[in-house]
Structure 1
Amino acid sequence: MFTGIIETLGVVKNREKDGSNIHFTIESSLSNELKIDQSVAHNGVCLTVVALADNTHTVTAIEETLKKTNLGEWEVGSKVNIERCMQMNGRLDGHIVQGHVDQTAVCTKAESKDGSWEFTFKYDGAQGNVTVEKGSITINGTSLTVVDSKNDEFSVAIIPYTYEQTNFHQIQVGTTVNLEFDIIGKYVARLMNK
């Protein structure tokens, strides 16, 4: 379980294909604090730490994960949003995030707003996921509030801190991002479809 509050940015240092899997070695300021078998969110994807070295950790993405997320696009040098799992004795600063990406979206608009930014994303609405204005959405693991909501498109507003401390500063028109829709909204949508 995560909160969507990004702790640090990591950088992909190595990418190694292994059958249908890919092992990613990532350097970050948190890598030396991690443990083997620990669950860590990488761009919102819960992955298990399988190896540790000097200021790096390695995680493995299986074929199913690669199909549903943007991890297959990661190259050496890619910046990755990283969050360790939530501590139960702390505040929930973001929202409840499971680390299970529902689908990807593509950025269709990235606009500077004189001190902030507004990003618009389009996704496949046929998969049944929904957003609501002022509801929660997780983009690349970052907990955000929806500004404008449509059937297959939504926008978010980004403050300078979030822009600089996450990989939002690299998102541009055409960039694919990971989406995890709000868990409460997913349950409500499922119940309404029954």
Structure 2
Amino acid sequence: MFTGLVSDVGEVLSVEERGDVRRLRIACAYPAASIALGASIACSGPCLTAVAVGEAAGRTWFDIDAGWETLDRTTLGTWTANRKINLERSLKIGDELGGHLVSGHVDGLATVVGREDLGTTVRFTLEAPAPLARFIAEKGSVSLDGTSLTVNGVEGSRFTVLLIPHTLAVTTWGDVAVGDQLNLEVDQMARYAARLADTAASGQGGSTRA
């Protein structure tokens, strides 16, 4: 489980095909000793497992393996060496919950259709896949490339988010341009609320008694 508060910007060092998985090596600023094998790390949205950890040239690196489902559903299938990615370590009991609850399970891809630079802030307009648009609400939360953001406005399948200078500086958002695709995870509360509403409307709800 994550919060969508990016704690480091990593860099893809290498990409290697290994049978039915793709192995990526990612450089980061985390101490190597702090990354346990099997640890979960959100990499620009997807929750991925560290399968190897080491140090080289004064930098920590960790390897992750991505299967076809991850490659097909996220932007990870397009990643190449030198790509910058947002990183977040998984939550520990007692950590501050500063963003919103993020699972690291990407629902689909949102496309950037507008970028408006407003001095020190930037407003982005994004198009969500039609099946996911119903889960995005004004003033609600959304995770884009692993970043927890507040939705400013919604019109059909399009929605806007406003990035402040701090977020632009400590994430990959400063380089995001029109036409880019971002990993989208909708708010879990919205997903479950919609499911409950659908169930009630279809008459499938109700209670059971022992």
Normalising by the residue count of structure 1, what TM-score does the alignment of the two structures yield?
Answer: 0.96
Q: Taking structure 1 as reference, are residues 89 and 186 closer, same or farther at Cα in structure 2, changes over 3 Å only?
A: same
2:38 aligned counterpart, secondary structure: coil
**Which 4+ residue blocks in structure 1 deviate beyond 2 angstroms?**
126-129
Q: Are positions 1:168 and 2:173 aligned together?
A: yes
Structure 2 vs 1, CA of residues 128 and 105 (structure 1 numbering), >3 Å: closer, same or farther? closer
Residues 156-194 of structure 1: CA deviation (Å, up to 9, x unaligned): 000011011111012100111000100000001112222
Q: Secondary structure at the match of 2:139?
A: coil
- Give the aligned partner of residue 159 of structure 2: 154
Superposition CA RMSD, Å: 1.2
Cα distance in structure 2, aligned partners of 1:44 and 1:127: 16
Whole-angstrom distance in 2 between the partners of 1:135 and 1:61? 30
| Pair member with larger Rg | 2
Code of the aligned partner of 2:98:
D
Corresponding residue for 2:43?
Answer: 42
Aligned length: 194
For 1:95-174, what aligned pairs fall within 5 Å after superposition?
95-127=100-132, 129-174=134-179
TM-score normalised to structure 2 length: 0.89
What secondary structure, in the 3-state scheme, does the structure 1 residue paired with 2:5 have?
coil
Verify the 8 A CA contact 2:28 2:61 in the aligned structure 1.
yes
Q: Separation in 2 of the partners of 1:84 and 1:126?
A: 29
Identity of aligned residues (%): 35
Residues 133 and 157, structure 2, Cα contact 8 Å, conserved in 1: no
User: Mind listing any 5+ residue stretches in structure 2 that lack a counterpart?
Assistant: 200-210
- 2:9 corresponds in structure 1 to 9
Correspondence for 1:19: 19
